[in-house]
Amino acid sequence: MQAWRLFRGLDRTQRATFIACFLGWALDAFDFFLLTFVILPIGKEFGRTVADVGWAIALTLMMRPVGAFLFGLLGDRFGRRLPLMIDIIFYSVMELLTAFAPNFTVLLILRALYGIGMGGEWGLGASLAMESLPAKARGLFSGILQQGYAFGYLLAAIVYWIVFPYFGWRGLFVAGAMPAFLVIYIRARVPESRAWKKPEKDFATVTISTFRRALPLFIYVVLLMTAFNYMSHGTQDLYQTFLETQRGLAVNQKAIVGIIYAFGAICGGTIFGHLSQSWGRRRAIVIAAICGLILIPIWVFSPGLSLLIIGGFLMQFMVQGAWGIVPVHLNELSPPALRSTFPGLAYQLGNFFAANAAVVEAKLAQTFRGANNQPDYAKALAVFAATIFIALIILAAVGREERGKEF
């Protein structure tokens, strides 16, 4: 009921701004996940292996910090609204051009450029959304905003199901240009953030001096976001592999588990984001991480499908519960002059440093070995997740709390 009252308490402009920022992030994720559904068809057309096509995903991830830095600076210099529109058009155009890639090299270049756009969206959208909301509503809407990523995955799955059988992978990327139409809505309905102030002095001088003062905090936030990204990658990337190879689940059973834990993620992010408004950002993150740590046995060691489904739902409820606090926590920690750059760059650097999570877990599985000398993914996932949960608990506990900070 309180959540509904918070939503009803927003004025028309605040609602329009939040909807635009949510859709910007959700459609960004939608464009990213489209590629993951068509790795095999792309490889077949260009005569490439799965590992080769995997570089298209890797290049996207590697270029995200570049986008966060470039578009973040634009957001701090010229305001959030215009750079956000430019960013959405940019990544939509890169998505559309991917549909017409004449060869594999061009496709890789386009996916790298798309990564710049993907990296720029989160920082711009999160800062615009959080600055436009009343302080008492930030926690709830932070949780909803972050789950745009999960919503984007579900949307990509639906579009793949509808479009791919008739138009192939190229038709899928044509559909991926849809986010460009969001710019029309932003231009018509979304004003500039009132918290943004046009720099009165030399922008470069102010930015450099502010960043120098905030450097220790920035390093801490990058470490925090590295732990966050290790947590999400560590509980997601090889979980489907574990279900197939070690639990022997069929494709439809794996799909059921995946869909259910995606809904767990959406619920967890929204609920914990809202709870952080009363508990505090750090405390809510710590509680979610502790609960995730406790849930590890049911998550990977359950003998039956029913318990695995419950474990998957609850684990992603806690993982994304902690993640739901990230937009508001990082924006409250950020120096005002760098609020478009600071959160987004820290987020994307954390994602960059945690990109090897699946590799580490795979090597752990090879080390542990289980029945018939097969890789023990259950033990590998359990050890990795436990280590990361403990690291996140410590990092969140020692950090600063800025709940309710005025923008």
Q: Are the beta carbons of 380 and 368 closer than 8 angstroms?
A: yes
Q: Determine the 3-state secondary structure of 237 from DSSP.
A: coil
Whether residue 256 lies inside any domain: the answer is yes
Q: Are the beta carbons of 68 and 345 closer than 8 angstroms?
A: yes
- Choose one of 157, 190, 223: the last residue of a domain: 190
Do 267 and 322 fall within a single domain? yes
Do 161 and 17 fall within a single domain? yes
What integer pLDDT is reported at residue 282 of this predicted model?
97
Q: Are the beta carbons of 111 and 35 closer than 8 angstroms?
A: yes
Do 148 and 232 fall within a single domain? no
What integer pLDDT is reported at residue 45 of this predicted model?
95
What integer pLDDT is reported at residue 273 of this predicted model?
95
What integer pLDDT is reported at residue 99 of this predicted model?
96
Full residue range of the structural domain in which residue 334 is found: 214-407
Whether residue 296 lies inside any domain: the answer is yes
Give how many domains the chain has, as a whole number.
2
How many whole angstroms separate alpha carbon 259 and alpha carbon 239? 13
Place of tokens 């615009």: 128
Whether residue 156 lies inside any domain: the answer is yes
Handedness of CA 223, 290, 384, 40 (dihedral sign): negative
Do 167 and 128 fall within a single domain? yes
CATH number for 336 = 1.20.1250.20
Do 18 and 140 fall within a single domain? yes
Burial of 279 (0-12, 13-18, 19+ CB in 10 A): middle
Whether residue 203 lies inside any domain: the answer is no
- State the SS3 of 120-185: HHHHHHHHHHHHHCCHHHHHHHHHHHHCHHHHHHHHHHHHHHHHHHHHHHHHHHHHCCHHHHHHHH
What integer pLDDT is reported at residue 228 of this predicted model?
97
Do 361 and 226 fall within a single domain? yes
Q: Determine the 3-state secondary structure of 339 from DSSP.
A: coil
What integer pLDDT is reported at residue 1 of this predicted model?
61
Do 230 and 140 fall within a single domain? no
**The whole model's pTM is what?**
0.90
Whether residue 219 lies inside any domain: the answer is yes
Whether residue 206 lies inside any domain: the answer is no
Whether residue 5 lies inside any domain: the answer is no
Do 49 and 117 fall within a single domain? yes
Tokens coding 130: 């959080």
Do 112 and 228 fall within a single domain? no
Q: What are phi and psi of 195, to 5 degrees?
A: -80, -20
Q: What are phi and psi of 46, to 5 degrees?
A: -100, 5
Do 222 and 120 fall within a single domain? no
Whether residue 204 lies inside any domain: the answer is no
Residues of the chain scoring pLDDT < 50: none
What integer pLDDT is reported at residue 58 of this predicted model?
85
Do 289 and 167 fall within a single domain? no
Q: What is the pLDDT of residues 124-181, one digit of tens each?
A: 999 999 999 999 999 999 999 999 988 888 888 888 888 989 999 999 999 999 988 9
Q: What is the pLDDT of residues 185-237, one digit of tens each?
A: 998 999 998 888 887 778 888 889 999 999 999 999 999 999 999 999 899 88
